[in-house]
């Protein structure tokens, strides 16, 4: 018996020796092919970049993986308990491998070998970290062996808490969310520290198969899996029985947060910020680096800007008539009826609908279902759709008398709820843009690039180059005032012609076809007189006017042709608003900015817009005077000239083409612009603290309609927007430079009159200038050379410019 026992022991030792040698040999075989696990010490996962408005409100996210990296110390114990119970209850006891579970899985796989069934896993949290961050997710014997070896090594190098931190931030939990913090916001709209037992348990139920437990697709499965986690939490002693029972009976509680878009009104602004960051730092900064961007956007103003512009575009478009349905659905009640028709995600108040039935005065609709809306049926009345009786068919305008002439069963249309009923809507064919900035800092506080970013991503505030028309005229007058002219200088407003450089004559004209004879510069700008502007530009020199336009940042280069004085050169809305900001701030250069600060994932500031120097700011305070801020901005316009132009632009609002914006209760200056054939309309205006510009026109320029103008279409948008912008703020005043002299002037003749004289205004004059007593009249006959013939292009081009830009207003 003794010999048998000794023999058996000897065999066992030999077997163990062979097994040990075998394992050692396998380890040596894998040694050279194993990845370097030590890189996990400084693991930097892809993070979302987040954009915030100036008040700290999240407005947009961009990135490959939606993740909020959370240190393990910031993960609540309740959340840890839920995941440990669901995934690895012995995590803090084992050395990377749960041998009992591994043997059980191995036995199961052996029994199922050759059956085609998927291999069982039995992975610990450590093994899952290895699988997610180092290896591939495939389930083969060799890969599982690599996983086991690396898991053991990981446990020897890193602490348990560090491994758990890696796990909590790397796991995919469905609906585009990586890591527990991001999933908490996605499913419940709340941070980790606000999660209940039931909510924490639901998140812990997801790592195994997040798509199988999608709460919106499979709510019963989700509840069942969640309750299993709750039971495990109770069995492991993390919660008591009473809490477990209560949590198991709680509703799932998930919300439609994932369907919500951050900042429905911010897409154009956010896309421009993305472009700027990508250009400066590369695409990684946006999509993987997880930067935090504090923008200049003022969300209440942005919302007001979107509302004002959209309302104007819809109003104008509906006045042009109904162009027909988006398309037709074969069977209105079929499950696939809405296939191929996309909603406007950033215009959530509009819903897709299919016409089920229609009579002379009413239509019944089926609405496209949404997670956040339960109503699926609606009624459309003739009273809410009367505008659509004006129909556009084959580019011809017709007038219908009943709703069944306009709509047919199966039509797919947009509708908007108003009160108890619905209004018929259509995507505007016309487009527009709005940009607003602080003239003293250049911070862009609102920017809208079109009706809907979902409809068109083209940003008409920053990417569309269009002719500003008469909105350019203030810069012609600024050049003159900066070079010896005064607001009371007289210019002849009368027909004239001049050679166009091709042997023909150019005959500019005023928009209304009328003329007023000798008139002051003030009247010329207030009433937007083309003839006066061309004469003035010819007198001061188109070269000088072009140089001023370039100095203001309106153009990189402006051709030296006289039609350019009437706004024939193309520029963007944001450039135009920036140029007006120079006038509004007293002549200082302005650089538009949409980003205040960028921080990396650690919170370190890597970019700051404000470059103002503060001398002695870092020294100790010992009762000395406040340190001086160094303003490095270039003075590109005489402050006195800026004040004179501002005063004249106030006249545009009070008496001229911009009268539509009167009544704000604060000082307002501005200028309208309408291009030839009414293809583009503009209004740019400013208060002492804000400049805003509006553009409206078709993407492929075409006639907006006889009589349409910047004063009629664009100025009302400015007024609607500014009502919100000035609310709760003091009236303020435009800064007046020292040293100017004021006279009471007749605004038409330019002569000094008594202040009580009808039509008298208080006009500002620079030192060395004064009102004239016997005023000379500029008739444009000064010999400044031929401003249309710089020989930089063919004569045909000059001729075309002159012929097509003579009726700008």
Active site residues: 87, 470
Q: Which residue has the tokens 């007038």?
A: 399
Q: Are strands 292-295 and 49-52 parallel, antiparallel or unpaired?
A: parallel
Please enumerate in sequence order all residues whose Cβ is within 8 A of that of 177, keeping only pairs 6 or more positions apart, or say none: 66, 67, 183, 185, 186, 187
- Measured CA to CA, the distance from residue 632 to residue 590 in angstroms comes to 11
What is the distance in angstroms between the CA of the first residue and the CA of the last residue of the chain?
Answer: 118
For residues 588 and 641, what is the distance between their CA atoms, to the nearest angstrom?
12
- Nearest C-alpha neighbor of 276 from the set 604, 592, 599: 592
Query: Concatenated DSSP letters for 212-280?
Result: GG-TTT-HHHHHHHHHHHHHHHHHTTSS-HHHHHHHHTS-----SGGGPPS-TT-HHHHHHHHHHHHHH
- Helices (DSSP H) in 250-366: which residue ranges? 267-281, 284-287, 299-320
Please state, in angstroms and rounded to a whole number, the distance separating the CA atoms of residues 222 and 227: 9
Do the Cβ atoms of 161 and 168 come closer than 8 Å?
no
Token duo for residue 591: 């650089």
Q: Are 763 and 525 in contact (CB under 8 A)?
A: no
Distance CA 350, CA 425 (A): 8
Antiparallel, parallel or unpaired: β 517-520 and 505-506: unpaired
Residue 751, burial from CB neighbour count under 10 angstroms (0-12, 13-18, 19+): middle
Strand partners for 423: 416
Q: Is 197 helix (H, G, I), strand (E, B) or coil?
A: helix
Quote the CA–CA distance of 42 and 533 in Å, as a whole number.
Answer: 66
| Closest by CA position to 164, among listed 70, 42, 233, 235 | 70
At 181, is the secondary structure helix, strand, or coil? helix
By DSSP bridging, strand 490-493 and strand 517-520 are antiparallel
Determine contact, residues 79/233, Cβ cutoff 8 Å. Answer: no
> Phi then psi for 111, rounded to 5 degrees?
-65, -35
How many Å apart are CA 480 and CA 784, to the nearest integer? 14
Eight-class DSSP state of 627: P
């Amino acid at each position: 018996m003794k010999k048998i026992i000794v023999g058996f022991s000897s065999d066992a030792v030999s077997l163990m020796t062979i097994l040990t040698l075998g394992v050692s040999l396998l380890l040596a075989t894998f040694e050279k092919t194993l990845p370097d696990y030590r890189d996990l010490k400084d693991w930097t996962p892809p993070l979302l970049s987040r954009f915030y408005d100036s008040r700290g409100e999240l407005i947009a996210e961009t990135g490959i993986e939606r993740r909020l990296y959370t240190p393990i110390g910031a993960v609540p114990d309740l959340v840890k308990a839920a995941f440990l119970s669901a995934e690895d209850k012995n995590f803090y006891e084992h050395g990377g491998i749960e041998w009992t579970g591994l043997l059980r899985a191995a036995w199961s796989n052996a029994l199922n070998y050759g059956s085609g069934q998927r291999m069982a896993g039995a992975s610990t949290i450590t093994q899952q970290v290895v699988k997610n961050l180092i290896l591939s997710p495939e389930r083969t014997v060799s890969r599982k062996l690599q996983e086991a070896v690396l898991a053991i090594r990981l446990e020897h190098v890193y602490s348990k808490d560090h491994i758990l931190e890696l796990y909590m931030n790397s796991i995919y939990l469905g609906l585009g969310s990586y890591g527990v913090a991001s999933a908490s916001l996605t499913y419940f709209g709340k941070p980790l520290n606000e999660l209940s037992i039931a909510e924490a348990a639901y998140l812990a139920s997801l790592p195994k198969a997040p798509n199988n437990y999608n709460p919106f697709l499979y709510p019963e499965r989700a509840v069942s899996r969640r309750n299993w986690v709750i039971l495990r939490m109770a069995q492991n002693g993390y919660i008591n029985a009473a809490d477990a029972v209560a949590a198991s009976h709680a509703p799932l509680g998930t919300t439609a947060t994932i369907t919500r878009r951050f900042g429905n009104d911010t897409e154009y602004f956010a896309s421009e910020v993305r472009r700027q960051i990508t250009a400066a730092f590369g695409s990684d900064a946006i999509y993987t680096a997880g930067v935090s961007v504090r923008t200049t956007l003022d969300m209440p103003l942005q919302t007001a800007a979107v509302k004002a512009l959209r309302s104007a575009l819809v109003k104008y478009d509906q006045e042009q008539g109904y162009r027909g349905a988006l398309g037709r659905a074969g069977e209105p009640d079929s499950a696939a009826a809405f296939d191929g028709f996309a909603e406007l995600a950033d215009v959530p108040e509009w819903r897709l609908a299919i016409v089920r039935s229609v009579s002379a005065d009413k239509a019944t609709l089926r609405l496209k279902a949404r997670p956040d809306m339960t109503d699926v049926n609606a009624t459309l009345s003739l009273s809410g759709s009367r505008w659509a009786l004006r129909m556009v068919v084959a580019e011809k305008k017709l007038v219908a008398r009943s709703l069944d002439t306009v709509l047919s069963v199966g039509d797919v249309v947009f509708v908007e709820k108003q009160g108890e009923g619905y209004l018929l809507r259509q995507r505007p064919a016309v487009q527009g843009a709005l940009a607003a900035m602080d003239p003293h800092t250049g911070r862009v506080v609102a920017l809208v690039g079109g009706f809907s970013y979902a409809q068109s991503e083209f940003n008409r505030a920053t990417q569309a180059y269009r002719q500003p028309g008469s909105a350019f005229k203030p810069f012609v007058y600024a050049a003159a005032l900066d070079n010896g002219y005064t607001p009371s200088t007289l210019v002849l407003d009368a027909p004239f012609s001049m050679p166009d450089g091709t042997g023909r004559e150019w005959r500019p004209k005023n928009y209304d076809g009328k003329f007023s004879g000798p008139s002051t510069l003030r009247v010329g700008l207030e009433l937007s007189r083309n003839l006066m502007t061309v004469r003035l530009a010819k007198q001061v020199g188109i070269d000088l006017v072009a140089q001023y336009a370039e100095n203001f940042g309106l153009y990189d280069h402006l051709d030296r042709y006289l039609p350019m004085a009437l706004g024939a050169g193309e520029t963007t809305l944001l450039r135009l608003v920036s140029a007006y900001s120079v006038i509004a701030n007293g002549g200082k250069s302005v650089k538009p900015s949409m980003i205040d600060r960028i921080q990396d994932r650690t919170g370190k500031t890597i970019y700051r817009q404000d470059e103002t120097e503060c001398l002695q700011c870092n020294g100790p305070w010992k009762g000395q005077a406040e340190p001086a801020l160094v303003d490095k901005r270039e003075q590109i316009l005489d402050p006195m000239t800026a004040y004179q132009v501002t005063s004249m632009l106030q006249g545009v609002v009070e008496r001229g083409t911009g009268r539509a914006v009167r009544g704000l209760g604060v000082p307002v200056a501005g200028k309208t612009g309408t291009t030839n054939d009414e293809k583009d309309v503009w209004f740019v205006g400013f208060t002492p603290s804000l400049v805003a510009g509006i553009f409206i026109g078709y993407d492929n320029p075409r006639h907006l309609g006889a009589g349409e103008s910047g004063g009629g279409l664009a100025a009302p948008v400015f007024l609607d927007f500014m009502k919100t912008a000035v609310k709760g703020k003091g009236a303020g005043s435009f800064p007046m430079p020292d040293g100017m002299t004021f006279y009471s002037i007749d605004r038409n003749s330019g002569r000094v009159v008594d202040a009580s004289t009808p039509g008298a205004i208080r006009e500002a004059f620079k030192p060395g200038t004064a009102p004239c007593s016997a005023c000379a009249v500029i008739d444009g006959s000064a010999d400044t050379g031929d401003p249309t013939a710089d020989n930089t292009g063919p004569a045909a081009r000059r001729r075309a410019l002159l012929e097509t830009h003579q009726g700008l207003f």
